[in-house]
Structure 1
Amino acid sequence: MFGPLGFTLAPSVRRSRTLYKWVKPLADWYANLAGYRKMGLKYDDLLVEENPEVQKALTRLTPREAYDRAYRFKVASLLSVNHKPLPKDQWLPASEDSRYLKPYVEEVVKETEERRVWDTLEVRRK
């Protein structure tokens, strides 16, 4: 998966214990600063739904995952209207902030790339 610059450094950071030790607290600080956990949302809830890959991935969610996602959005909308975050004891802990949509998005991207390769395949006779 690519980041906003066209590549990602995450695998390199995870492989290096020293670098991971320095970057992980900054990443946690940034995630807390973003405030989405205060609204009960997960990181994958922030993905842009207008992206065709994300739209297709959303159709692959289990009914339970789709329901939970819709519920989180309703709660966050209500909190936004009231201009209040959840009480601190109800914030989403970092341990529960799992990437539930990422595997589906990666699968869709791979399928799209494979389809593009097969659709542009040129057949030649010998």
Structure 2
Amino acid sequence: MPPLSIAKSIVARPWLQRVLGPVANRYADLAGYRQIGLVADDLIIEETDVVQQAIKRLPPKVAYDRMFRMRRAVQCSVAHQILPKQDQTKPEDDVPYLSPYIEEIEAELRERNELDSLAKAK
């Protein structure tokens, strides 16, 4: 079962979400990316064509904020420091900004492949 479908099944069951929600938040805190100012979507690997297209579709403000977070995280990493508590990413600010674009592009590619296979079948 792909991770996305597992996440959807957890969200569909409120009792399971209440049980696993705190565990997921604690795991994200321990991962350390919030301590250097990143959000979860900043950790997505950029080398794929789909992610590259998604990054190009980002609004200018979101793309700028993403680059700022990345540069600040690199500076923190080089200096072996974490950000002050007020500058760290809060859990409520850790919202997906890139994932919706990735899902949109993947849906477009699936649709294109389906249409191409229909055209080849004729």
**What TM-score, normalized to structure 1?**
0.90
Where does residue 89 of structure 1 map in the other structure?
A: 86
**1:28-81 deviations in whole A, cap 9, x for unaligned?**
011001110001001000001012111110000001011000100110010000
Runs (4+) of structure 1 exceeding 2 A deviation are none
Higher helix proportion (structure 1 or 2): 2
Out of 99, 108, 113, the position equivalent to 1:111 is 108
Please name the residue that 1:54 is paired with: 51
**SS class of match (2:81):** coil
Report the equivalent of 1:17: 14
* Cα drift, residue 123 of structure 1: 4.4
| 2:36 alignment counterpart | 39
Q: Which amino acid aligns with 1:11?
A: K
SS of 1:8's equivalent in the other structure is: helix
Output the CA distance in 2 between the equivalents of 1:46 and 1:8: 20
Q: What RMSD in Å do the two structures reach over aligned CA positions?
A: 1.2
1:87-122, Cα deviation, whole Å (9 max, x unpaired): 122211000111001110000000111111112223
Percent of matched pairs sharing the same residue:
41
* Residue 8 (structure 1) shift: 2.5
Deviates more, 1:9-18 or 1:99-108: 9-18
What runs of 5+ residues in structure 2 fail to find an aligned partner? none
